[in-house]
């Protein structure tokens, strides 16, 4: 029999999880080791776009928790996107099987269980997997995300931005890796020397490094992911004929050895949605909920600009009606700026086998509101399928911390029977749209045509004229100054100071890949440029600023260089 303090705690939890609007049912509360079926723990549907965290040690039930939430969201008509790292979520498409053990558990938490299957679309990256192939064009993926995939440093990242800018200005469509390789190959060739000089902040050595990385990506088979037809993120927002939200499962089993690719692709999806979805503010239910498994892969080894862009996306996409749940082992896997935006918390058990484990445990406990529970003890003793929960109520305040025995999914826990995924793919309306790759005329063909009789000789598009005969060094510097100002105006939306002896453009020349100007160039700086680091190449600095600014780049999707205009219902 529970003591009086325990009874008060049960009453607080029971009252704290009563909401007026629709809810997702999580489970029943445990107090003093006793399960209280009447103390139901819920999550308001309207608060699902306030983002969340599902954390816990391996084998504690994180994937099943994700499955339970995805099922209920679908039942409420909310589309779901989830990354299926191990293939364990294919079971969503198949009804669960009743058993005596399952009946005992579901009855104990007050769950009226019935088997059910859910509408699931299975996707895969390129040709890696059994799902419908998903592709993205190089131009929409953008230089920042591509730099992340290729593990470029900041100087190389800024240089890649200049390459994208050159292609954009010269009408060179970048659809696949061959297109980008062709552009960089042209810029590093004797024929493209003049165009390379006009870019100013791009050295031939750095361009060569990027070119080698592109060849390495192709050798790894990643060329199958980049290309057309490009996946339209509007297809993530569909509902089935019966009104249930479609669950889109991205199969990642075959690409576990390419963690940067799939983690970066997930951010591309979010960035594209952010750029295209209209503002809706607070809504009764989200338009879409993302579940990002193995979330630590998003941040491991990432650049500052990449992290800042993720933080901005998470902070601002809520107003677009999109919720994001990160799934990882400990909250410490995520940057503090991200963790602070995750209002709904489902923390499964943690282990404290080592000093580092103990430190992580204490850090996790410190992120929860004060409660009567000894959370260090609870988090090390909680069983499989149990978690410590706190969410936002309908007024935006945190609910009481509740040690919860979670509900069971209505679909199969684990892999679906053999043949389920191929059958779902074959009957999908998306197969006709994305099943076969398309190779349109793009930068590769345009630049290849230059070598043919009558080919253009202007940098790739026929729109930029060759310099007049007799053009000297001074004239080329003026051209480079003008190009630098155009780049700044386009990328940052700001006005550059007029060209002149005080600007520093073209005054020092750049070393082969070190990103620094000569002492003479630095000496020519004036107070008008006091906001920049004095020892950084002007163009490299410009591109790095562009990667991190929240302004015009944010409106263009944070990571991308182009915005696709589509009607949204």
Q: How is residue 155 written in tokens?
A: 């100087």
Tell me, letter by letter, the H, E, C secondary structure of 354-401. CHHHHHHHHHHHCCCCCCCCCHHHHHHHCCCCEEEEECECCCCCECCC
Spatial separation of the C-alpha atoms in residues 259 and 507, rounded to whole Å: 42
Is pLDDT of 536 > 90? Answer: no
What are the backbone dihedrals phi and psi of residue 261, each rounded to the nearest 5 degrees, phi first?
A: -65, -50
**For the residues 397-419, what does the mean pLDDT come to?**
96
Kindly report, residue by residue over 242-256, the tens digit of the pLDDT: 999 999 999 876 656
Q: For the whole model, what pTM was predicted?
A: 0.78
**For the residues 38-48, what does the mean pLDDT come to?**
96
Which pLDDT value is given to residue 561? 42
Kindly report, residue by residue over 152-172, the tens digit of the pLDDT: 888 888 889 989 999 999 999
Is pLDDT of 531 > 70? Answer: no
Kindly report, residue by residue over 216-267, the tens digit of the pLDDT: 888 777 788 899 999 999 999 999 999 999 999 998 766 566 767 777 788 7
Spatial separation of the C-alpha atoms in residues 161 and 490, rounded to whole Å: 12
Residue 285 CB-density burial (10 A; 0-12 exposed, 13-18 middle, 19+ buried) = buried
**How many other C-beta atoms can be found within 10 angstroms of the C-beta atom of residue 240?**
15
Query: How crowded is the C-beta side of 57, counted as CA atoms within 13 Å?
Result: 16
Alpha-carbon torsion angle 563, 567, 568, 569, nearest 10? 180
Which pLDDT value is given to residue 475? 53
User: What does the DSSP 8-state code read for residue 190?
Assistant: S
**For the residues 549-567, what does the mean pLDDT come to?**
41
- pLDDT grade, residue 9 (50/70/90)? very high
Kindly report, residue by residue over 447-469, the tens digit of the pLDDT: 988 755 554 433 333 333 333 33
Which pLDDT value is given to residue 479? 55
Query: How crowded is the C-beta side of 380, counted as CA atoms within 13 Å?
Result: 15
* Per-domain boundaries in the chain: 6-135+235-435, 138-226
Greatest Cα pair distance in the chain: 97
Spatial separation of the C-alpha atoms in residues 14 and 236, rounded to whole Å: 35
**For the residues 53-68, what does the mean pLDDT come to?**
95
Which pLDDT value is given to residue 203? 84
> Across the chain, what does the average pLDDT equal?
80
Distances (CA, A) of 123 to 145, 253, 283: 20, 11, 28
Does residue 226 contact residue 214 with C-beta atoms inside 8 Å?
Answer: no
Which pLDDT value is given to residue 197? 83
Q: Which CATH superfamily is domain 6-135+235-435 in?
A: P-loop containing nucleotide triphosphate hydrolases (3.40.50.300)
Least confident of 14-18, 144-148, 218-222: 218-222
Is pLDDT of 552 > 90? Answer: no
């Amino acid at each position: 029999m529970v003591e009086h303090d325990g009874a008060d705690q049960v009453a607080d939890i029971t009252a704290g999880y009563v909401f007026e609007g629709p809810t997702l049912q999580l489970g029943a509360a445990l107090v003093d080791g006793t399960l209280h079926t009447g103390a139901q723990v819920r999550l308001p549907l309207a608060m699902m776009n306030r983002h969340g965290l599902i954390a816990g040690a391996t084998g504690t039930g994180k994937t099943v928790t994700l499955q339970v939430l995805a099922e209920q969201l679908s039942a409420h008509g909310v589309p779901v996107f989830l990354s299926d790292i191990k293939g364990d979520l294919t079971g969503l498409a198949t009804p669960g099987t009743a058993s005596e053990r399952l009946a005992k558990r579901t009855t104990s938490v007050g769950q009226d269980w019935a088997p059910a299957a859910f509408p699931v679309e299975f996707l895969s990256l390129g040709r890696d997997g059994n799902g419908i192939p998903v592709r993205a064009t190089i131009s929409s993926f953008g230089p920042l995300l591509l730099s992340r995939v290729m593990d470029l440093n900041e100087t190389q990242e800024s240089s890649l931005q200049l390459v994208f800018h050159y292609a954009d200005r010269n009408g060179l469509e970048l659809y696949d890796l061959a297109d980008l390789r062709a552009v960089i190959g042209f810029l590093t060739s004797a024929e493209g020397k003049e165009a390379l000089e006009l870019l100013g902040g791009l050295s031939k050595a750095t361009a060569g490094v990027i070119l080698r990385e592109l060849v390495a990506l192709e050798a790894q088979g990643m060329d199958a992911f980049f290309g057309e037809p490009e996946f339209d993120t509007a297809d993530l927002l569909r509902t089935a004929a019966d009104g249930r939200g479609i669950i889109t499962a991205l199969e990642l089993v075959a690409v576990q050895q390419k963690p940067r690719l799939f983690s970066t692709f997930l951010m591309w999806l979010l960035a594209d949605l952010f750029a295209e979805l209209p503002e809706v503010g607070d809504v009764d239910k989200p338009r879409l909920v993302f579940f990002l498994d193995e979330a630590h892969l998003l941040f491991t080894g990432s650049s500052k600009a990449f992290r800042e862009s993720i933080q901005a996306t998470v902070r601002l996409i809520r107003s677009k009606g999109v919720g994001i749940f990160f799934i990882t082992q400990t909250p410490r896997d995520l940057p503090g700026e991200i963790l602070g935006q995750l209002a709904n918390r489902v923390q499964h058990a943690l282990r404290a086998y080592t000093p580092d484990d103990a430190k992580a445990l204490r850090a996790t406990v410190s992120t929860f509101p004060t409660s009567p529970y000894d959370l260090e003890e609870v988090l090390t003793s909680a069983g499989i399928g149990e978690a410590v929960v706190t969410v936002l109520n309908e007024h935006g305040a945190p609910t009481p911390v509740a040690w919860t025995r979670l509900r069971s999914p209505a679909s199969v826990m684990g892999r679906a029977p053999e043949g389920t995924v191929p059958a779902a793919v074959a009957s999908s309306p998306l197969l006709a749209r994305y099943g076969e790759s398309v190779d349109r005329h793009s930068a590769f063909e345009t630049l290849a045509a230059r070598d043919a009789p009558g080919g253009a000789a202007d940098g790739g598009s026929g729109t930029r004229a060759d310099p007049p005969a007799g053009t000297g060094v001074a004239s080329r510097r003026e051209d480079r100054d003008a190009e630098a100002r155009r780049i700044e105006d386009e990328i940052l939306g700001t006005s550059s100071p007029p060209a002149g002896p005080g600007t520093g453009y073209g005054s020092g020349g750049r070393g082969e890949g070190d990103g620094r100007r000569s002492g003479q160039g630095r000496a020519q700086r004036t107070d008008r440029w006091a906001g920049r680091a004095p020892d950084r190449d002007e163009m490299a600095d410009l591109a790095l600023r562009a990667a991190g600014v929240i302004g015009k780049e944010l409106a263009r999707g944070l990571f991308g260089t182009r915005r696709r205009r589509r009607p949204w219902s």
